Amino acid sequence: MSWNSRHLLDIESLTPEEVITILDTAREFKAVGERSIKKSPVLRGKTVVNLFAEPSTRTRISFELAATRLSADIVNFTTEASSLRKGETLKDTARNLEALNADIFIVRHEASGAAHFLARFLHGSVINAGDGAHGHPTQALLDVFTIREHKGEVKGLNVTILGDILYSRVARSNIWALKRLGANVTLCGPSTLVPKVFEQMGCTVTYDIDRAIENADVVNLLRIQHERQRKTMFPSIGEYAKLFSLDHARLAKTKPDALIMHPGPINRGVEIASDIADCERSVILDQVTNGLAVRMAVLYLVNQAAQGKAARQDG
Ligand code: CP
């Protein structure tokens, strides 16, 4: 096993072996989830805080369920019901939670670098659940887990990520994870949202959707990240859908066994035709199911590393 970090802050600092360790551990936890008794005692006595300063459905609930399945105590923190609204800083908020003996902080924040920032001074573990447009490591891990489950291996696959790449933390973390595992990554969308600079990450950039999807083994669709766009990036949603939506005509041009993926939330009729999201080739809900196993694995591994470090310091 290759893992010795008490945090999971990004994908770019992971080795391929560390990515594989998380995926293999997740496979074991997925098997636990298929048993009649789904609980494991590995986090008994630990307190996990879901520190979400941005909205979330999948990630927050998935982490909550993952921590519960591992027998931890879980605290859900949301900005609206907190003293962040009264001007308290993120740092003071986190330190107060640590004063209540929190062990693991799962952090989602609009600022890129928020999780890295907290990891600099908190004694507990920090897991990045999405920071600005920078990263969403557990999303990328559950995506590559799902690809591996369906395709056997990620190495050599052609993966196309289609949509708003510029503002997407999912895209960045996916690119890192896919490249670590040896996939060929193609990015496509409006030129304003898919700048050529992404070629420096080893990706192919194209504005021709037919070219982007024709040889793809996986098509991963991303929504427009309106919440992070500060200016108009394309003329209208209708025009975007016409030029870049995965509709039936385009689906017919893909390989018959190409997987259709989406991290959610889906904007049906914009980046994907509604019934394609629910078709046989769609693995969108498999991604959600696998997210639970991946997050159990991450919680387990960071806790093991933190305990190992604490034991060494005691010794
Ligand atoms: N994929 C994802 O991060 O979804 P949520 O924003 O609902 O957590």
In whole angstroms, what is the distance from residue 126 CA to residue 112 CA?
15
Which superfamily, per CATH, for 16-135+288-314? Answer: Aspartate/ornithine carbamoyltransferase (3.40.50.1370)
In whole angstroms, what is the distance from residue 273 CA to residue 247 CA?
5
Compute the average pLDDT of residues 7-28.
98
Residue range(s) occupied by CATH 3.40.50.1370 in the chain: 16-135+288-314, 137-283
Q: Does the structure show a pLDDT above 90 at 49?
A: yes
Three-state SS string across 115-136, please?
Answer: HHHHHHHCCCEEEEEEECCCEC
In whole angstroms, what is the distance from residue 240 CA to residue 121 CA?
43
Q: What is the pLDDT of residues 121-180, one digit of tens each?
A: 999 999 999 999 999 999 999 999 999 999 999 999 999 999 999 999 999 999 999 999
Q: What is the pLDDT of residues 248-271, one digit of tens each?
A: 999 999 999 999 999 999 999 999
- Which residue, 287, 163, 294, is CA-closest to 221? 163
Mutate which of 54, 58, 108, 134 for ligand 1 pocket (most atoms within 8 A of beta carbon) = 58
Strands of the sheet with 47-52, listed across from one edge: 73-78, 47-52, 104-109, 125-131
Give the Cβ contact number of residue 134 at 10 Å.
20
Q: What separation in Å is there between the alpha carbon of 152 and the centre of ligand 1?
A: 25
* Ligand 1 within 6 A of CB of 125: no
* Ligand 1 within 6 A of CB of 139: yes
Q: Does the structure show a pLDDT above 90 at 227?
A: no
Which superfamily, per CATH, for 137-283? Answer: Aspartate/ornithine carbamoyltransferase (3.40.50.1370)
Instruction: Look up the pTM and report it.
Output: 0.95
- Which residue, 198, 204, 153, 143, is CA-closest to 172? 198
In whole angstroms, what is the distance from residue 230 CA to residue 77 CA?
27
Amino acid at 72: A
Q: What is the pLDDT of residues 87-101, one digit of tens each?
A: 999 999 999 999 999
Q: What separation in Å is there between the alpha carbon of 176 and the centre of ligand 1?
A: 19
* Ligand 1 within 6 A of CB of 264: yes
* Ligand 1 within 6 A of CB of 146: no
Compute the average pLDDT of residues 75-82.
89
Q: What is the pLDDT of residues 277-288, one digit of tens each?
A: 999 999 999 999
Mutate which of 50, 51, 52, 57 for ligand 1 pocket (most atoms within 8 A of beta carbon) = 57
* Ligand 1 within 6 A of CB of 266: no
φ/ψ bin of 78: left (φ > 0), alpha (ψ from -120 to 50), beta (otherwise): beta
* Ligand 1 within 6 A of CB of 138: no
Q: Does the structure show a pLDDT above 80 at 189?
A: yes
Give the number of the atom of ligand 1 that is nearest the alpha carbon of residue 129: 3
Tell me the C-alpha to C-alpha distance, in Å, between residue 18 and each of 1, 2, 95, 165, 264.
8, 5, 29, 25, 26
Mutate which of 50, 106, 127, 139 for ligand 1 pocket (most atoms within 8 A of beta carbon) = 139
The per-residue pLDDT for 141 is 98
- CA of residue 253 relative to chain centroid, distance: 28
Strands in 59-124 per DSSP E: 73-78, 104-109
